Copies of this chain bind each other. A is one copy, B any other.
Amino acid sequence: MTQAVDTPRTASRQATFTGLKCKECGETYQPEAKHVCEDVCFGPLEVAYDYDAIRRQVTRETIQAGPNSIWRYRAFLPVETDTPIDVGTGMTPLLSAQRLARRLGLKQLYIKNDAVNMPTLSFKDRVVSVALTRARELGFTTVSCASTGNLANSTAAIAAHAGLECCVFIPADLEAGKILGTLIYDPTVMAVQGNYDQVNRLCSEVANTKGWGFVNINLRPYYSEGSKTLGFEVAEQLGWQLPDHIVAPLASGSLFSKIHKGFQEFIKVGLVEDKPVRFSGAQAEGCSPISQAFKEGRDFITPVKPNTIAKSIAIGNPADGVYALDIARKTNGTIEDVTDAEIIEGIKLLAETEGIFTETAGGTTIAVLKKLAEAGKINPDETTVAYITGNGLKTQEAVKGYIGEPLTIEPKLNSFERAWERANTLNRLEWQQTLV
């Protein structure tokens, strides 16, 4: 193992992970940069843990005494070092969303707000912090990813902080904020003329020819474990209890599966009591392969060609789609999709009621939450957590033209008074129209 680049201390604690294990056939592998069960079935590899060792190391108190970041859950994460790359990622607010709840006829609604995650304002900072810490341990000096935008932002930023070389791959048609929000950290950016699924296939080939650590390809087993912290934090923030129902966006399906794994692990080591948690997933209609399979009762995914404003979740061939399907079904949850117009309304609804500006993926989640609430698929008394995974400042194009304009005035009191009168008259007219 290589030592940490800018924090040259050796690992002192007993590692709690034992290696990699095929999710399909159970074959085990050394904890290297590998993501596919090459020897047997080509299933996806996952990190395996020694839960007895975790149980011996961890209590609620040791976690609470840990850092104010995902690294308070270090025993559950696949790294050996005691000095992981910690840029303050995680421990984002779990907000009691009383005004949104009232609008939707719910009573116990919470927003887990990763729109303000550190450093790059999406849940991807969690997975990248873990992946790059592991990449350093495995000796990589260049890191890479296939991204719909947020992952590129995060990989470039955290690589910059850690002093790692970085080359990211994105679809060429991404939102301006996501491209600029990557370039600013000075990585090499490859804008691929194709959709995410084509970017992803290209990256698999590149991973075979270059000795790079692709966070979501050869490092994927480590990377994806970072999403478990979205389960851990919610359980801790609810006072060491699980919620009754969660709603999260579905792109590859990995986030969804790992929140589930996080809850299960907390039960397994005795940090929370076991109870049923319903898992509901959100997709955009223009890229809804998992939702379609759910509705049609299929246990396989038929890939689609994405066409939606929700680009960050526009994965037509989702790697963990079948696992997400399985979890939604066995927990008595639902998978639903919404139109682009509903996504924009979802973004606005969350902003107007709770003061949270999310990107299109978050709009999708809120729109699905609304649809499920209206259809009676969320019990009003259920403690429900909606996961907001990214920030609206990165997808400004999506809402431009749908949020009105400022009233332009001169710097004079009477100019203000006239504008204020006009605004109130318009508001009254709109209000009367809603009554007609």
- A9 interface residue, CB < 8 Å from B? no
Closest to A400 in B: B180
Q: Which of A51-59, A242-250, A264-272, A388-396 contacts B (4 or more CB under 8 A)?
A: A388-396
Whether A116 pairs with B118 at a CB distance below 8 angstroms is yes
Contact yes or no, A158 B355, CB < 8 A: yes
**By the criterion CB–CB under 8 Å, are A160 and B393 in contact?**
no
Q: How far is the CA of A8 from the CA of B272 in the complex (A)?
A: 31
Taken together as a complex, chains A and B put the C-alpha atoms of A408 and B193 apart, in Å, by 7
Which residue of B98, B116, B156, B407 is within 8 Å of A119 (Cβ)? B116
Contact (Cβ within 8 A) A181 B113:
no
Which residue in chain B gives the minimum CB-CB distance to A394?
B393
Q: Contact check, A403 vs B183: say whether CB atoms are below 8 A apart.
A: yes
17 A-B contact pairs sorted by A residue (CB < 8 Å): A6-B99, A116-B116, A159-B355, A160-B353, A170-B406, A172-B406, A177-B177, A177-B393, A177-B396, A183-B405, A184-B348, A185-B352, A189-B407, A192-B409, A192-B411, A393-B393, A393-B394
Instruction: Identify which of A84-92, A219-227, A279-287 touches chain B.
Output: A84-92
Number of copies: 2
Chain B hits for A201, CB < 8 A: 411
The distance from the CB of A311 to the nearest CB of chain B, in whole angstroms, is 15
For window 78-98 of A, CB contacts with B under 8 Å fall at 87-88, 91-93, 95, 98
- Does any Cβ of B come within 8 Å of A42's Cβ? no
Chain A 349-393 per-residue mask, 1 if CB under 8 angstroms from chain B, else 0 = 001111111000000000000000000000000000000000111
